Structure 1
Amino acid sequence: MNRRKFIKNSTLLTGSISLVGINQISAKESKVETQIAKIKPNRLKIGDTIGLIAPAGYVSEKALQESIENIEKLGFKTYYTENVKSKYGYLAGEDEVRAKDLNHMFENDKVDGIFCIRGGYGVARILRQINYDAIKANPKVLVGYSDITALHYAIYSQTGLVTFHGPVATSTFNEFSVNNFVKTVMNPEAKTVFTPADDSEKGSDYKTYVIREGKAKGELVGGNLSIAVTFLGTKYDVDYKNKILYLEEVDEKPYRVDRMLTHLYQAGKLEEVSGIALGVFSDCDSKVGSAQGERSLSLQEVLYDKLYDLGIPVIYGLSFGHVENKYTIPFGINAELDVQNQTLILTEPAVL
């Protein structure tokens, strides 16, 4: 190649790179400008109709009847389709069946709110079949936890609708859980204060302890740790910047908790959040005296090791997760975390 031709080609290449850079900047600016606005659902009232769905694991007849009884004791009517009785291996029916049921509940004007019957596994499989336009046009309270974390992430990222990390319909609806549910989705005030239940006698998993003191403000995002990690790099992930991250887990060994927190850290997520509220990590500690326990770090050691040096407020043992005493936490609502006083405070109503 002669020198004149080389210079000409180099000039064209430089111009192309500049245009690519401009296009990338424009795309980023466009993404910021089209950020989805937050949508709050209407509050639930006594006498409202609750749609029962099974977007994840298989539901037995006993679990269905228990769900109906629990929800009706709260003062609601219940509605479900025959789809909740479907079974496809460990799933509550094939993907299209479960997605159809979810879409139907949002599209049905007679349904005021939605409860997931149980978690398990399977929500992630239906995310591409959900009608997000219908959800955005018909915002409703949706409640659940564990695998339902996948719905919270997907619905919030795609529509801006505030959903609720709270009891599934088969949960224990004791006084603590009912009171926290009512003050979040039925009778909210300008500020709603969550304080932990006194469950320390149930074991070390339930002990509340401070990892790093301080106060944090920001919108609430999170849920089950193992589910949250699976959304990294997908279009269903959410912005973590200046958010309060809440996490819970069940039946994961300390090294697995370590691995998942390390994944979040290496993805840059933990460095972005303003504070971390940890619920109960049920059955996640090493077994003292066992061969596995002797080789393992304790759960508490892992949490200190991975989270203390972030330099942000972190607390363990708040009342949410695979436990009987549960908060109902709104995904996307502004809150304050006060580690010293062991409180999580919603600073705006989560419902209209």
Structure 2
Amino acid sequence: MNTRSTVALLGGQESGKTTYLGAIVRALETDSLSNLRLSSLPDDATAYDRLSEPLLDGKYPQRTKAERHVLDLPLRATRDGRVEEISLHMGDYDGEEVERLFKDRMQGFSPEWRARSGARGLLLFVRPTAMMPLPRLRVDELPTDRERMLALKANKEQKPRARTRKKADPEAAFGPGIQDQSRHPRVAAPDEPVRVPTVLAVVELLQFLRHERGLAPGERSSRGEMRIALLASAWDAVDPVWQRSGPAVLFRERAPLLDDFLWSNYHPEDLLHFGLSSTAGDLSDKRYREQYREDPHGFVVWSDASGRILRTRNLALPIEWALFGDEALTGNDFELVHS
């Protein structure tokens, strides 16, 4: 049975897409955990090597902003006792392109982006540190109604009371984001421009893809027609509170706009939240880098129907789920993390 299945990657700048692509190429070549097998590579495997070889040395794969990684992986999967041939097309892009598309959303979508609308599944990467709420204005920095009325009566402009302002955080959106250790929204000054958060730009991209598929707001496509795997990347570095609660709770509480949009426009069984660590630790840490060289692996976590947090080293699990649905979650290599 021959099919062509396309899985598209979506996410903002530094959301972990490139590292995952490098790790998944290596995993599909060497690991036996996945139901997917890499049949072969093209004669010119330069694009694959640029992604996977740095990880063999314990380094993150890097690229120039002009690079595009479009991988066409010939895969095989054994399902119900028969072998299924799958041509898996995975297209990557510069994360800053998300910001540019958001700013020019009427004319900025290329044929490459339009082609993503036909994907069988989406891997939606969001770095947890980019899931902070919008900065809020401090109410007591503004004049009260009574102060404004008195100022009008006195025929003069009342200026806001002077306060020490917090320095604007340039990473509030389209980047690593505000550090996750903070539990409260950052306070913005009244005249400070507020940047668009990453999750809002991702919602805009999803709306475009839905429009290309002819879906009206709130209209759901047929079940299984497009599954969305939400991946909270760098899960190894997430606050232990969220690691115990699981990725579904993290998305619900820290990215409510995105979470509400998805649940309002897709069937619940076509959405699944994963925590992803492509390298199971920070390769910029010299001690961990040596551990990774000896045992290179990553992991994926998710919550089952009873709320238990499960983990596997099978990095291809989000792809398998996007292609095959919940039957991908019936393996026996899953480890219980929290119950």
Q: Same fold (TM over 0.5)?
A: no
* Structure (1/2) with the larger helix percentage: 1
TM-score (norm 1): 0.31
State the TM-score, normalizing by the size of structure 2.
Answer: 0.32
